[in-house]
Amino acid sequence: MRNFVIKLGKCLLIFLVTLPFTLYFILLLVNLTDEEKSEQVLAFERILEQGKQIDDRKNAYISLVGITAKAEEDIFLIGQQHISLLRNHRATKAELPFIDAFDVDDFSAQLESIFSACQTASALNEKCRQHLLIQQDKIASLLNNNQLLLQRYRRLTELTQWYEILPPNISNYSGMRNNLLLSLQHLNLLASWQGAMSDKPEEVALLYKQQDRFLRNIFSSTHVLITKLIASSAIKRHLNWAVFILSNMAESPSKQVLKNSLVDTLSVPFSVQSLSLRNVFIGEWQFAESFFEGMWQGEHSNAWFNFFFRPMFQQQATANLSAKIFYEALKKPLKSDAETIGERPCSVGGTWQTLTWYSYNPVGKLFRCSSPIFTATYQKELDAVESLRKSVLAKLTHY
């Protein structure tokens, strides 16, 4: 009996030791080949390629990246140089791989101070007006000292195209210049407020209409989720500012001129395309695939981790699954986030079906299925832009 127990123990020990290796060997066999590109992936790639087919000179994004160039330099050419530097920049430190000719941090800090009492829509009231009136000298000085930046920004808003051409896995998001874009918008808003105070309705109307067209262009064209959300925030401030600057003007023919122009500008609804998540979800898909590709090749990747787990990761199969997840999410924008997550392709049934499904490309599926897509949350944020436009238009019409 004792010998039987010893033999049984040895067998169990051998079984427990060999089981992981056996399972690993089986997984290796299951994961010998990758998938071909799915139809959805091919469709996503075609859409991304179409977005790139624009004239660089008309691409406002390039000039934005170069907008802090020296006075004698061409912001488009400098933008191209900066983008080239950023594309090769993978450092985790905060410093950009180029130097701005303007003190961007000081510029942004001054604007934040001036707008401190006017940050939200509900704060655009008499208190905000008095706060700005007290700071008129400071505002005039800021506008005067940054005339070159302001002029460049206004030329930027005249450009008709927008496409971020930085690689989607760039490590330094400050290089995308989103915060600077918001600061320049705020500077332009101050200029429009100053123009309203100086009884220059035609000038204010032109500034407002031009910026409206520019923000709509970004909102509709971007394939980067963070830019889409920032553009949404910028448009909301832009819309609320229309009521604020009009309310700051005394009753006069000039006020009526400005009102008519603002109503005309805001009468155009936001297009279905601009309110859609399609472009940004395809951009998120592109970002994920670029991330996975770089994960195994990065300078900080672990050789042993790569050795054991790389065979369990099928890059194209992961891309196909990712495209399917985003495509399914796009078809159900009005469903709650919980419903969308529950209906994702990652939900494959019972325990045995789940184990079988995860046996192929387990690493890719775990990475992709562990990242929920909050479709309803994002769609609600975008739809609020059109709702606000209608609300502001109604206020202006009956002002």
User: Residues 230-235: what's their mean pLDDT?
Assistant: 94
Inform me whether the pLDDT recorded for 354 exceeds 80: no
Identify which of 261, 233, 288 has the alpha carbon closest to the alpha carbon of residue 120. 233
> Which residues contact residue 104 at a Cβ distance below 8 angstroms, ignoring those fewer than 6 apart?
68, 180, 183
**SS3 annotation, 168-190:** CCCCCHHHHCHHHHHHHHHHHHH
Find where tokens 């490590």 sit: 171
Name the pLDDT band for 342 (thresholds 50, 70, 90). very low
Torsion sign over Cα 342, 291, 304, 359: positive
274-324 pLDDT tens trace? 999 999 999 888 888 877 776 666 544 566 666 777 888 888 898 999 899
Higher-scoring residue by pLDDT: 216, 364: 216
Which residues make beta-bridge pairs with 128? none
pLDDT recorded at residue 75: 96
DSSP alpha helices (H): ranges in 53-175? 60-65, 75-87, 104-114, 126-134, 136-145, 147-157
> Lowest-pLDDT range, 18-27, 130-139, 193-202, 240-249?
18-27
User: Are the C-beta atoms of residues 111 and 183 closer than 8 Å to each other?
Assistant: yes
pLDDT recorded at residue 176: 82
Inform me whether the pLDDT recorded for 120 exceeds 90: no
pLDDT recorded at residue 98: 86
357-392 pLDDT tens trace? 888 888 888 888 887 788 888 999 999 999 999 999
Name the pLDDT band for 93 (thresholds 50, 70, 90). low
> Lowest-pLDDT range, 113-127, 177-191, 208-222?
113-127
User: Residues 63-80: what's their mean pLDDT?
Assistant: 95
pLDDT recorded at residue 253: 86
DSSP alpha helices (H): ranges in the chain? 2-30, 39-52, 60-65, 75-87, 104-114, 126-134, 136-145, 147-157, 178-197, 201-221, 225-247, 253-266, 272-275, 278-295, 303-309, 315-331, 337-342, 351-359, 362-369, 375-397
Domain boundary assignment for the chain: 55-268, 278-399
The whole-angstrom separation of Cα 338 and Cα 353 is: 22
159-195 pLDDT tens trace? 999 998 876 556 556 778 888 999 999 999 999 999 9
Half-sphere exposure of 182 (CA within 13 A, CB side): 23
Query: Burial code of 238-256, b = ≥16 C-beta within 10 A, e = fewer?
Result: bbbbbbbbbebbeeeebbe
User: Chain centroid to CA 110: how far?
Assistant: 25
Higher-scoring residue by pLDDT: 141, 329: 141
